[in-house]
Amino acid sequence: MVVGCPGNGKSTLARQLADELGLRHIELDGLFHVTDWGSATPEEFRRDLVAAMDDAPQGWVTCGNYLTMCSGLHIDRADTFVWLDLPRRTVMWRTIKRTVRRSLTREPLFGNDIREPLGNFYRWDPEKNIIRWAWVNHPIYRDKFRRFTDGSSPHLTVHHLTNPGEIRSYLSGEINEPR
């Protein structure tokens, strides 16, 4: 499982890990968001997540933050928890750059026919503006994921990565010890 605030590089790291390990990459945003930014129901989301995990007999790597909606489905089946916890300034810079690029290029998101609407730049509601979402939720995600570092989920090897150098070291196998 790869988790963290938007802009931390969850999807990029999860894809790289899945490729390197020969596992399936499951992007939780792709299961949750449907055409025109509609959302799957919790039941549909959980059904599709279980099907994606079951369809990956060699294993899987998820990216996304749907802990409550997942109801523990993938936490219970995971063996590794990678928390990307980059500084807010880094997350914001990455989120702004990515959002502007996606809006201008009309790049489809999450393997679906969803695109970043230009109008969302003008919305203050974090539910409609990913830049605002990243700003508001950065400390919330930090508090939410901190609990996994206390050893209360003994079946998980937890890696808390706080800068791009640690992420590169983790990916290259230099960081093997959980922290």
- pLDDT at residue 34 is higher than 60: yes
pLDDT at residue 175, rounded to an integer: 59
Give the model confidence (pLDDT) of 113-128 as tens digits.
777 777 777 777 766 7
Calpha distance 70→119 (Å, rounded)? 30
Mean pLDDT in residue range 88-104: 89
Q: Tell me what percent of the residues of the chain surpass a pLDDT of 70.
A: 92
Calpha distance 100→79 (Å, rounded)? 35
Calpha distance 43→40 (Å, rounded)? 8
Domain residue ranges of the chain, discontinuous segments joined by +: 2-171
Calpha distance 117→146 (Å, rounded)? 33
In CATH terms, 2-171 corresponds, of 3.40.50.300, 3.20.20.80, 1.10.3720.10, 3.40.1160.10, to 3.40.50.300
Calpha distance 64→81 (Å, rounded)? 11
Calpha distance 93→5 (Å, rounded)? 13
pLDDT at residue 107, rounded to an integer: 77
Q: What are phi and psi of 71, to 5 degrees?
A: 55, 35
Which tokens belong to 106? Answer: 């009309």
Nearest CA to 37 out of 119, 112, 123, 136 is that of 112
Length of the chain counted residue by residue: 179
Cβ-count burial 94-123 (b if 16+ within 10 Å, e if not): bbeebbeeebeeeeebbebebebeeebbee
pLDDT at residue 176, rounded to an integer: 59
pLDDT at residue 177, rounded to an integer: 54
pLDDT at residue 13, rounded to an integer: 96
